[in-house]
Amino acid sequence: MMVSRPALLVAGLAVALTGCAGGAFRPVSDAPVALGAAYRVKGTTYVPFADLGYDVLGYANWYGSESGNRTASGERFRPDWMTAAHTTLPLPTYVEVTALDTGQRILVRINDRGPFSGRARIIDLSRAAAAGLGVAATGSVAVRVRRVEPAESDRARLRKGKPAHALPPISERERLNLRRQLAAAGF
């Protein structure tokens, strides 16, 4: 089979440009799952671990100014994707985040490390995740973060930068119970 010179030129250019697009960033993937070694930030040591029953109450903030930077998983940070940062859960991990003010729930994919300020702050959300949870206008919001194993269709959507299928809000009774638990913990 003979390939024309212009076709070779176009193919070579396409290969060169794909190298620019991906740079040294890791492709978005669920494998391998990485725990990583213990690390120290601002005098605190964090030890990553696989907690299959992770279900914690605390506070979330959101971040977005790191757009284009490398996440701890090696992927490119995209503030318009439903992602988050966590100090110790494996990368990636899927979690359900519930806003305790409204009961609204979303699924996010953890692909970065953080937050590193205060024990009550348990997750940093991307701008899109904060908007999806309805908390983009607030600086900090009370949340429940629970590790989940979503359907492959939702995992695939999140890996492609799309939101997972909508989750119904929790009941008012459950929301008030979680708020009481958070207050009892001193937060």
DSSP string, the chain: ----HHHHHHHHHHHHHHHHHHTTPPPP-S-S-B----EEETTEEE-----TT-EEEEEEEEE-TTTTSBPTTSSBP-TTSSEEE-SSS-BSEEEEEEETTT--EEEEEEEE----S-SSEEEEEEHHHHHHHT-TTSS-EEEEEEE----HHHHHHHHTTPPPPP-PPPPHHHHHHHHHHHHHTT-
In tens, the pLDDT along 129-177 reads: 999 999 988 889 999 999 999 999 999 999 999 999 999 999 999 999 9
- For residues 86 and 61, the answer to whether their CB atoms sit within 8 Å is no
Q: Which residues pair with 132 in a beta bridge?
A: none
> For residue 10, is pLDDT > 50?
no
What is the pLDDT, as a whole number, of residue 139? 80
> For residue 106, is pLDDT > 70?
yes
Scored b (16 or more CB within 10 A) or e, 17-28 reads: eeeeeeeebeeb
Q: Check whether the bond before 115 is cis (ω within 30° of 0).
A: yes
- Distance CA(181)–CA(100), nearest Å, equals 11
The mean pLDDT value of the chain amounts to: 87
In tens, the pLDDT along 13-56 reads: 333 333 334 468 989 999 889 898 999 999 999 999 999 999 99
Residues 6+ away with beta carbon under 8 Å from 18: none
- For residues 158 and 94, the answer to whether their CB atoms sit within 8 Å is yes
Overall average pLDDT of the 110-116 stretch: 94
What is the pLDDT, as a whole number, of residue 23? 60
Overall average pLDDT of the 73-84 stretch: 95
**Structure-token pair, residue 169:** 């809000």
What is the pLDDT, as a whole number, of residue 169? 97
> For residue 2, is pLDDT > 70?
no
